[in-house]
Structure 1
């Protein structure tokens, strides 16, 4: 959700594409392009503009059925390559073992408690194909955990996100800050985890 910052969508997608391209293709440590999972997918902005152009099949998971229903229209013809529309909160979602080359988790971890996030990341790790990646792209606070009363979420600092990934048994393969976003919003970082 871009919450009034719809104009940054292209910057966001282009940054994500550049990040992903570092890992896709043939060769040592590279990730395949057969199937991706979009977590907290909403109506499918990331599925449509980032994942479907790069992967043969994309699965979507979101807690709101209404968004998933809208996605079927929003995605248009390319939506035929969406394998599954899962209506579930990530704290309850169990992705299929060994199915995904990339699991993309953007602007949704703030809705999970620390323990739910760790458990979800552990389940995601089991859902990866060989050389698969979990990618988290999210806002990070400057220090500690900052609650957002408006949408009942939290924003964690980078150190906390790192430690939760570590608790889940994941290592950070690569990390970048998204550039060219408005100065008044939180920094956004992208982490590739295995």
Structure 2
């Protein structure tokens, strides 16, 4: 279905890049005017993620995390840096990464890398990350590129590492957004993409207490 919605792959990506270049580098800008939900979002993510962190068999270590579609580092600052020793950020918009350097403050010294790159082209280092956090960005990838990116992420995990996808889900099918050049997929399609990438969903939850007018947001832990 997605192939019929995306006529020109190059245009699909370039329009998204142009859209984000016009967005102010603020928390409100990162959240599409819904900056007020940031704390609810972070608290839900932290509760979800802490189920998997710790020492012992099958537990994910608090070593190095990757923030995908990081923007100005909202998730890095509030979620990842408090839980991990080091963090890397990747985003397609250089202005956002430049802002992150000041936004993250003193704790930003524990950020090791800022990668300016679209996820369709990003090659994470093999065996580097304990957690790869992918939030509100998969809609900017085609199905094929998302499958390939998740495969690369799988290979970038350390033993017992975890990929977390947190994003809007459509009620049925694929819903395009012409404004920011993205798509919103339903859960069956997202689960199928995860399977194609050779990953399994080990936990899945719906984020609670978000405004009713936005799409449901689900969190998926993958290995």
- Pairwise CA distance, 1:28: 2.2
SS at match of 1:83: strand
Please name the residue that 2:57 is paired with: 28
- Report 1:44-193 matches (<5 A): 44-193=73-222
Deviation per CA, 1:108-140, whole angstroms, max 9, x where unpaired? 000000000000000000000000000000000
Residue 26 of structure 2 is aligned to residue 14 of structure 1: no
Q: Secondary structure at the match of 1:131?
A: strand
TM-score with structure 2 setting the length? 0.86
Query: Gapped runs of 5+ residues in structure 1?
Result: none
Deviation at 1:27, TM superposition (A): 2.0
What secondary structure is seen at the aligned counterpart in 2 of 1:32?
Answer: coil
Partner SS state of residue 213, structure 2: coil
Q: Shift of the alpha carbon at 1:4? A: 1.2
How many aligned positions are there? 194
User: Which of structure 1's runs of 4+ aligned residues deviate more than 4 A?
Assistant: none
Give TM-score, length-normalised by structure 1. 0.99
Gap runs ≥5 in structure 2 = 1-29
More helix per residue:
2
Measured after TM superposition, the shift of residue 65 of structure 1 is 0.7
What's the secondary structure of 2:208's corresponding residue?
coil
For 1:31 and 1:84, the matched residues in 2 are separated by: 21
- Higher Rg of the two aligned structures: 2
